Structure 1
Amino acid sequence: MLMTAREAPKLGLGANLPQFSLLVLVNAFVGGMVGIERSILPTLAEVEFDVAGRTAILSFIAVFGVTKALSNYLAGRLGDRWGRKPVLVAGWLIAAPVPFLLMWAPTWNWIIVANVFLGISQGLTWSTAVIMKIDLAGPRNRGLAMGLNEFAGYFAVAVAAWATGYIAATYGLRPQPFYLGVAFLAAGLFLSLFLVRETHAHVRHEAVSPEGGMHAALGEREVFAVTTWQDSNLSSATQAGLINNLNDGLAWGLFPLVFAAAGLSLSEIGLLASIYPGVWGVSQLITGGLSDRLGRKWLIAGGMWLQAVGIAVTGMTSSFGGFASGAVLLGLGTAMVYPTLLAAIGDVAHPTWRGSAVGVYRLWRDMGYAFGAIIAGIVADSFGLTAAVYVVAALTFLSGLVVAGRMSETLRRP
């Protein structure tokens, strides 16, 4: 049965502001859940569990990255097939054990188990929040929508990282810092279950519009192939996303150890751990909308190069000011890249398989956590922390070259 003009949902941020704003808030709580680990888990591994090797310490990031990547893919497929809201709610339910495992885990293996639950939850909740915002925003403000989404998530990561570092310095590493996770979990689940509404009607409406994107009908295997390697724009975005999260894994897992080796206190490490995602989060309020006006390609390439500079600066210094400068540059570069990559995927993919394309992109992007943890851990154990930092900086610079040479502009101007 065809939808009448009266029944047809409207696309755009203004027309969907209440639901869009609610989803921004939900994503802030999603970000907060991962932020509770950002500043203190590497220290917790060394102090409470006597985990010494860098590769072993970074195992929690590798596990998180693999499980999140796979659930990203699942979220896209299930969201296209059964609806977005059930997937969002399921993600919050799966997160329920995480803060309690982090508070009371008797061995490091239980921390790994917590990160399995966290990775699955993050994949389902964050991916679905992204897809729902793309559904609501329509084609004209896609970059701005992604900027607002990623701002909320990563600013919350920054606040949670700072707060847990402060609480740990004041009260101890466990259990007090992880009380925040219980609050984030309760708030996110309540909003998702009772206030968030399904967005499938918006997808169906956009699918019949002339701005719907490429290839109106693709199967699951075709979407995977097109997004991973066949389409030069989608595959260029996918590899950039993977390398971006490879260096984010470095920042998450090794930077706190770099800062500690320089003699910084736990509260200073917590502050530094918050600067990078904080700058990243706030700057996306500008960069997301900027990509709607200037285009996607050169923001992505330039952002990867700026990230490489920020990582290299961190490797060159041993002072709080130097580390803070590197964190600011890394945050700015990531802000140029993160929402713009999602907007580029939305530019190219047709609404009927857009959720699946976002899932494939986020599958490879978050595999970057695992690759980053393995590469950085092996290099750090073999050649030292500084060598690992420089290797990741070089990979990030090369990723920008791939975008510059292979990707074309995806923004379709009216």
Structure 2
Amino acid sequence: MRELYEHPFFRAFYLPALLFSFALGLLIPVLPLYAASLTDSYGLIGIALSAEPLGRLIGDIPAGLLLRRYNPKHVMLLGISLFCVATAALFFAPGLIFMIIFRLMAGSGQAFYGISRHTFAAQAVRLTSRGRALSLLGGLSRGGQLLGPVLGGAIASQLGLRTAFLFSAAVMLVAIFLISRYMTSEMAAHEVDGVVKQKGGWQTLKPSLGGLFTAGSGQVFAQMIRAGRQALVPLYAAEVLGLDVAAVGLIESFAAGVDMSLFYPAGLIMDRHGRKWAIVPSFSLQALGMALIPFTGHLATFVGAVTLISVGNGLSSGSMMTMGADLAPPENRGEFLGLWRLVGDLGSSGGPLIVGGVAELLTLASTAWYVSATGLLAALIFYFFVPETRKHEPQPVKQPAD
């Protein structure tokens, strides 16, 4: 364990990712209930919760452009710093409109951090271990959400909803220090196919746009069910089952534990059998679990449905990052991954809007079926229309003996 901690890549890349995820996890049970404390309208709650993914939409393309000119480390630091400031500012937000503004800022920061982190990993990790490396990143993201929600719920319950925002910002400051101290440009010196990165402009992306369209269509619905679940589960637990914020945090942490336990099997499946072998079962299970939520009348059955969703989500740990890295042209990874994240964030922003809009017109419980349909669409698109993207790393050509 000591050797792992002292490894430069762990301290520079994986540990900050874990801390960033933990900081996000602190907010999972808090944000929906905080928005609900500012308005009685489910529609407005949905808009407030969609502000962060909308902010990511705003930041995705600029992040790709910045990566053409600057080292991923600098873009990471810019993004996580913006997220940190915007999260701390929520403590002082006087109303819903300010919450929306600060969440838009936080989303843009998350786009900068996420895309630069993705680009760094795609450059630094070999093809043969890409699935495991990125599933580990996805697993750590879920690991941060193992304790984050329960601690966030406890803080909000004892000290008030707003206090959790300050704790989240403080954790991000530690991540900023680790990246500043330990990340070096030499860590990303490995280019998986031997192509030197060029500044070729957006024209070089044209051959990759076909894959972006088909796989991106699936990713829209994949991210939609993920984001919809994050909005629906806390609201359903509080509004329908009558649970308090501390109990919501416990449920979210339990779900994250189930989720995290599957990140390594997910990586093995993607590397040994193919990306689709993990993706299609994953979103099928998530769709099934989401469809069962309206039939949960008490805590035990609700936790059962959430567990099924978490098993499905765990099977897709790192899958969208891995597929994006597979499809990205080596000479313009930053720009492509910016577009890839843009497409995914369209889905992420749509999830909370579905929850808020349908709940406003019908009932909160009935929104689960609409969110479930997005997961089923994701599974069908990846199964029927997206080719397998797993590739074998080219072997060096042997020189003939003299």
Q: TM-score, normalised on structure 1?
A: 0.86
The match for 1:141 among 129, 154, 170 is: 129
Matched-pair contact (CA < 8 Å) for 2:221–2:377: no
| Percent sequence identity over aligned pairs | 23
Who is 2:53 aligned against? 65
Distance 1:111 1:150 in 2: 27
Q: Who is 1:220 aligned against?
A: 202
- Counterparts of 1:117-128 in structure 2, within 5 Å, are 117-128=105-116
Name 2:150's counterpart in structure 1. 162
Partner of 1:252: 230
1-structure distance, mates of 2:208, 2:293? 33
Deviations 1:247-295 (A, max 9, x none): 2222222221211121223221111222333333332132123210111
Query: 1:9: which partner in 2?
Result: none
Number of equivalences: 388
The change in CA–CA distance for 1:276 and 1:357 in structure 2 (over 3 A counts) is farther
Query: What are the within-5 Å matches in structure 2 for residues 13-412 of structure 1?
Result: 18-47=8-37, 49=38, 51-175=39-163, 177-198=164-185, 202=189, 205-208=191-194, 219-220=201-202, 223=205, 230-231=210-211, 234-260=212-238, 261-412=240-391
Cα pair distance change 1:41/1:201, threshold 3 Å: closer
**1:333 Cα shift?**
1.5
Match of 1:5 in 2: none
Distance 2:255 2:274 in 1: 24
**TM-score when scaled to structure 2?**
0.88
Task: Please give the per-residue CA displacement for 1:20-54, whole angstroms capped at 9, x wherever unaligned.
Answer: 5530111112223322321022222233x2x0111
Q: Is the 8 A contact 1:80 1:352 kept in 2?
A: no
2:312 aligned partner, one-letter code:
G
CA drift of 1:104 comes to 2.1
Q: Secondary structure at the match of 2:234?
A: helix
Aligned residues of 1:98 and 1:117 also touching (Cα < 8 A):
yes
In 2, distance between residues paired with 1:32 and 1:121? Answer: 16
Residues in 1 aligned to 2:129 and 2:345: alpha-carbon distance in whole angstroms: 25
CA contact (8 A) 2:18 2:143 kept: yes
* Shift, 1:401, TM fit: 0.8
Q: Which consecutive residues of structure 1, in runs of 5 or more, have no partner in the other structure?
A: 1-13
Pair 281,81 (structure 1): closer, same or farther in 2 beyond 3 Å:
farther
| RMSD (CA atoms) | 2.5
Pick closer, same or farther for the CA change 1:290–1:199 going to 2, 3 Å. Answer: farther
Question: What's the secondary structure of 2:174's corresponding residue?
Answer: helix
